[in-house]
Amino acid sequence: MSDNVDVSEYMAGGIDISLPDIPMPEPVKEEKKIVNDEVETAFKFCFIGSGQGGGRIAETFHGLGYRKVCAINTAKQDLNTIKLDNKLCIGDGGAGKDPDVAGEVFASKKEDVVDFMRYSFGDDFDRIFVCVGAGGGTGAGTLEPLVESALEVQETLGVKNNKVGAIVALPKNSEGKRVNANSFKTLDTAYKLVESGAVSPLIIVDNEKISKLYPGLVVSSFWQTANRSMAGLFHLFNLTAAKDSTYSAFDSQDYGSILDSGLMVFGASPVKDWKDPISISRSVRDNLKGNILSGGIDLSTGSCAGVVIVGGKEVLDNVPQSNLDQAYAQISRILKPNSTVHRGIYSGDKEGMTVYSCIGGLGKPEEKLEELAKLGDL
């Protein structure tokens, strides 16, 4: 038969196939699944925790009212400690702090994890956050493939945002060489994902820094406090970005631009004497230099920031605008030239004044990576 075949001669008489009478099921109509949060925020975020550390972070966000939350683990006994409804065990006995083992297990269960995310998150959201503990095997070994899977879910559902957030918890220095070596590799991988454009924001939970900020914490409450410190500030900015202000609003576009800027950190500091012209400015400086929740990061590389000042009605009715302007000028001086500082002033239900800040567009955390490499004997 030649390449140029006139099929009309074969079709001229028509083709009549007599099909047997086979019972056929009704086509399944796929309905959109909606999972509603219990809080009103600017953005609808999803959180998947991998490993015990990542699962704890995801659980913390669930406690704040987010409901598009789930966790996976290679060890059932670790997964049982996470208080979430949506949990998936993908392994048998854990990864033994070996990221390569966890990576192989994930590869064999990838489609199950993708389906699990779709089931847990529904179809209406703005961005997925992958949460991992950097020192363990499961979190360290699944960060990169989990980011790739989350991007796949977002693309399949037509989510406009083309980046996935990552929250990486770093260990305390005392947790040993292997844990710190894993953490170095995980943090390095995470920042490479930022540079590739796959991840934004990258948020670091530095447990060594947090242990110094809260030196009196007992063992039973340390992890909860550490995760709540970061998640609470993350949530505060997502809340305020959805609220109107009679003074000055920090809106969703402001927060969105910081979320899209790469590596970001959070901090908070109370103002002792808001009547003092330089007290608020000093609080901002101390906040950024002392109370940021991650060490080893050069704030002078930051390209954008959000500063939200929350005060009681009496405070805001009496504080001079010039005092607040000095505070905003202070943060501009700390960041790199021509950076953008988004402002917000809100009336709170507590007396006094507190300055909340988030810094984005930060450069590679070289100092922290060097510290982890040394502790990990790399």
86/33 Cα distance (integer angstroms): 15
- Per-residue pLDDT tens over the stretch 87-146: 999 998 888 889 999 999 999 999 999 999 999 999 999 999 999 999 989 999 999 999
Domain limits, the chain: 45-240, 263-362
139/142 Cα distance (integer angstroms): 5
Residue 276 CB coordination number (10 Å):
13
- Per-residue pLDDT tens over the stretch 295-316: 888 999 999 999 999 999 889 9
Q: What is the arithmetic mean of pLDDT over 358-363?
A: 95
- Between the alpha carbon of residue 44 and those of residues 22, 64, 133, the distances in Å are 46, 13, 23
DSSP state of 96: T
> For strand 304-311 and strand 353-362, is the pairing parallel, antiparallel, or unpaired?
antiparallel
Residue 375, pLDDT above cutoff 90: yes
Q: What is the arithmetic mean of pLDDT over 214-239?
A: 88
State the pLDDT at residue 30. Answer: 54
51/133 Cα distance (integer angstroms): 7
User: In terms of Cα–Cα distance, which of 114, 107, 108, 75 is closest to 91?
Assistant: 75
State the pLDDT at residue 192. Answer: 98
Residue 258, pLDDT above cutoff 90: yes
Q: Which residues pair with 131 in a beta bridge?
A: 49, 167
- On whether the CB atoms of residues 38 and 67 are closer than 8 A, the answer is yes
Pair of tokens at residue 326 = 């000095």
At position 7, the amino acid (one-letter code) is: V
Assign a CATH topology to domain 263-362: 60s Ribosomal Protein L30; Chain: A; (3.30.1330)
Q: For the chain, give the mean pLDDT.
A: 89
Residue 13, pLDDT above cutoff 70: no
Q: What is the arithmetic mean of pLDDT over 346-370?
A: 92
Residue 3, pLDDT above cutoff 60: no
Q: Which residues pair with 164 in a beta bridge?
A: 199
Q: pLDDT-based confidence at 1, cuts 50/70/90?
A: very low
State the pLDDT at residue 31. Answer: 59
- Per-residue pLDDT tens over the stretch 62-88: 999 999 999 999 999 999 999 999 999
74/150 Cα distance (integer angstroms): 18
373 vs 327, more confident: 373
Pair of tokens at residue 101 = 């083992």
User: In terms of Cα–Cα distance, which of 256, 248, 203, 257 is closest to 230?
Assistant: 203
Counting DSSP H helices and E strands in the chain, the numbers are: 13, 10
Residue 40, pLDDT above cutoff 90: yes
230/202 Cα distance (integer angstroms): 12
Edge-first strand listing for the sheet containing 45-50: 87-89, 69-73, 45-50, 127-133, 164-170, 199-206, 263-271, 353-362, 304-311, 340-347
- Per-residue pLDDT tens over the stretch 143-168: 999 999 999 999 999 998 899 999 99
Instruction: Kindly indicate whether the domain formed by 45-240 is annotated with CATH number 3.40.50.1440.
Output: yes
**H/E run at residue 129:** strand 127-133
Q: Do domains 45-240 and 263-362 have the same CATH topology?
A: no
- Per-residue pLDDT tens over the stretch 200-218: 999 999 988 888 888 888 8
